Structure 1
Amino acid sequence: MTAPSLESLVADARNALGTPADRIGPRTDAAPRFELFNGPNSICSQKVRAVLAQHQIPYLSHSMDMFAGQTYLPPYVRLRMHGCDSLGGPLMEVHTGSTSVSHGGCDPAVVPTLVDWQTRQVIVDSKRICLYLDAEIEPSRQLRPRHLEDLIDAQLGIVDNLPNYQMLGGKPPGIDTRPASQHGKTGIELARGKVARCERYLAEYPDDPTMVRAYSAKRAKELTAAERLFGVDAMRAAYDKAESACADLEQLLRGRSTEWLLDDRFTMADLYWAIELLRMQNLGAQSFWTNGKRPAVASFAERVRSLPPLRSAILDWPGANF
């Protein structure tokens, strides 16, 4: 059986969403090189959109409703699997609370997914996409300059492995400070809803090896999330981990001799931390640094709110906040 072309994979994913793409960024006569499938309130999508905005790269944006299950639509999963398979690693079957592909494998039913029409690649994993886009820019403007690669990568690793999924879906220790729309939710029902979606599609595509592999892995992942991630002890550990990271950031900010976190120019480390702090604030976790608790983090969090890439990709992006 002949493998579907990239054109047909993308066309099927577009048609499944049923809405036209938005053209984002500087206007040119040529069709944009990049096409991005993303979720407004997906923190991983926000990172990619912020890099695109920082570099003023035009692209086509397909906005996907994660809570309505659009990332589980079979044509999108088939496109996503094309990207997962190109990585050569496993699919993620155990949910660690991290969104990092390097910690467990590729998830076939999440965003973002980037299509590069010039190189004809489907690229998955937000960190990989961000670095891929940044490498296309002239060195003097890159967010990950060569002489700072190791320091930047260390910070990206910290942020990439913070428990955002647990903090979004699970009940915080003590008072529930999340937005009103999240009150009463424990995370377990969210994960079990995803398990049910996978089971529905497994029943629909029993003879399709690609779909069986994708939905089986996703079902296993979300089942472990429901069983392990949202208990009282697990949520306490998640919030402790997030606050500890903020404490380390406070020390790093206080000890720096540069305008930004690692350099006098804004880097990918600043961008990742900025988006993380915006997400924590959106989820009501700003107590990690407010009321004089961590003044350097508080100052950084306030400063980045005025940055144009953060405003256009997150703060002013429709549906980006809960």
Structure 2
Amino acid sequence: MAKAIPWRSWIFTPGDHGNYQPAYVRLRSLGHPGGALVGEVFTGSTSAQSQGFDPLVVPTLVDRLKRKVVVDSKVICEYIENEIPSPVLMPPAHRELIKKHLTLVDETPHMGMLYGLHLSDMLQDKLVVAFAKLISTAHAGQIKSVEAYLADSSLPSDLRPLYEAKKKKTELAQSRVGKSGGTKEGYKEMLNKAHLRLKRWHFIGGFVDVFGLQVATFLSELESDLKATGGPFICGAECTMADLVWHTSLLRLYELGFDGLFSEEKLPKVHQYAMRILRHEGFAQATYLWPYKPVTRNLRRLMAEKKPVQVGKIERVCIR
């Protein structure tokens, strides 16, 4: 089901904050669809639709043929489908159901759960616990990098509001889930508010878990739709864009040890689906089989079943 698009990827090393470089920020800002910048709300997700535009993150897609910059994962998925419709990943008969699940995954608080790992009572893997401790202080380094750019008089004036918005967003995230300001109560509040917002979208939630309320609600939606369509995929017999995005979401939850949220006892359909979709050959090659350093025993189990993708030299980005 691959689109077979010629492409080239540039790797950013998170700790180096290469995506904070002014040249990259200017490039990414060309894809700004308009509307608010980040820093006004925090639900833990990275959805541009609900959180605002973040000019200092990835991914950014550059369509060189059309000289167009596209930002935000959900928008990029839809853009590729519209520009290269074969093979079809969003068939008209299932488009509304697929768009629903694109939104569910887009609004899942992956970022909030990642930076708030140290606030969770669900962690069992020692490697994840160590990683949680490490990443809980990441906000301080991010803020320091942004402040350094703001203190540089050579930073173009039109980019300053973008850096200020990033700083505001990061300080807000730090106060909610970071080591210096985050609390378990704040973590729960983040998920609760997202759950209430979700209910206003008329999606009906299922079981509730203290440290995965929003995710549990979204997973219960997945359970209901899998039952309704009969599987093995979300749209029945067809593998679509909805399955692609759920692969990435379930992989993150599985990797960090949150697979208890979709155990066979709680959500049997989702559990069976996850065990299939995580092993989907094409998806696996684009995610955990790509050159990657595994950090958890769950991910190592998956990787042990398949051969890793062989690639040439990985080019790390340095924008001038």
TM more than 0.5: yes
Report SS of the residue matched to 1:160: helix
Report SS of the residue matched to 1:309: helix
Residue in 1 that maps onto 2:3: 55
Distance 1:183 1:124, change over 3 A: closer
Distance 1:88 1:293, change over 3 A: closer
Contact 1:177–1:285 (CA under 8 A) maintained in structure 2: no
Match of 2:96 among 131, 145, 150: 150
Residue in 1 that maps onto 2:262: 289
Q: 2:214 matched to 1:265?
A: no
Once the two structures are TM-superposed, the CA of residue 181 in structure 1 deviates from its matched residue by: 4.2
Moved more, 63-72 or 204-213: 204-213
Once the two structures are TM-superposed, the CA of residue 269 in structure 1 deviates from its matched residue by: 1.1
Distance 1:236 1:220, change over 3 A: same
Match of 1:242 among 202, 215, 223: 215
Once the two structures are TM-superposed, the CA of residue 160 in structure 1 deviates from its matched residue by: 0.6
Match of 1:133 among 52, 68, 80: 80
For the residues of structure 1 that align with 2:153 and 2:22, how far apart are their CA atoms?
9
Contact 2:45–2:112 (CA under 8 A) maintained in structure 1: no
Contact 1:116–1:122 (CA under 8 A) maintained in structure 2: yes
Residue in 1 that maps onto 2:105: 159
Match of 1:184 among 124, 127, 133: 133
Q: Note the residue ranges of structure 1 that are not aligned, 5 or more in a row.
A: 1-52
Q: Deviations over 1:275-310 (max 9, x none)?
A: 111110011101112353322111111111232221
For the residues of structure 1 that align with 2:43 and 2:132, how far apart are their CA atoms?
23
State the number of aligned residues: 266
Report SS of the residue matched to 2:54: coil
Residue in 2 that maps onto 1:315: 288
Distance 1:240 1:54, change over 3 A: same
Distance 1:59 1:131, change over 3 A: same
Distance 1:232 1:258, change over 3 A: closer
Contact 1:169–1:182 (CA under 8 A) maintained in structure 2: no
TM-score, with length taken from structure 2: 0.77
Once the two structures are TM-superposed, the CA of residue 104 in structure 1 deviates from its matched residue by: 2.8
Contact 1:143–1:266 (CA under 8 A) maintained in structure 2: yes
For the residues of structure 2 that align with 1:320 and 1:79, how far apart are their CA atoms?
29
For the residues of structure 1 that align with 2:174 and 2:66, how far apart are their CA atoms?
39
Higher relative strand content = 1
Distance 1:129 1:207, change over 3 A: closer
Instruction: Report matched runs for 1:69-80 at 5 Å.
Output: 69-80=17-28
Distance 1:174 1:213, change over 3 A: same
For the residues of structure 2 that align with 1:138 and 1:123, how far apart are their CA atoms?
17
Report SS of the residue matched to 2:35: coil
Contact 1:83–1:124 (CA under 8 A) maintained in structure 2: yes
The share of aligned pairs that are identical, in percent, is: 32
Once the two structures are TM-superposed, the CA of residue 254 in structure 1 deviates from its matched residue by: 2.3
Report SS of the residue matched to 1:122: strand
Contact 1:55–1:137 (CA under 8 A) maintained in structure 2: yes
Once the two structures are TM-superposed, the CA of residue 180 in structure 1 deviates from its matched residue by: 4.6
Match of 1:208 among 138, 156, 159: 156
For the residues of structure 2 that align with 1:177 and 1:210, how far apart are their CA atoms?
46
Report SS of the residue matched to 2:242: helix
Contact 1:169–1:185 (CA under 8 A) maintained in structure 2: no
For the residues of structure 2 that align with 1:125 and 1:264, how far apart are their CA atoms?
28
Match of 1:221 among 148, 169, 191: 169
Report SS of the residue matched to 1:114: strand
For the residues of structure 1 that align with 2:107 and 2:27, how far apart are their CA atoms?
25
For the residues of structure 1 that align with 2:154 and 2:250, how far apart are their CA atoms?
42
Residue in 2 that maps onto 1:304: 277
Once the two structures are TM-superposed, the CA of residue 173 in structure 1 deviates from its matched residue by: 2.8
Amino acid at match of 1:199: E
For the residues of structure 2 that align with 1:315 and 1:175, how far apart are their CA atoms?
23
Distance 1:258 1:232, change over 3 A: closer
TM-score, with length taken from structure 1: 0.76
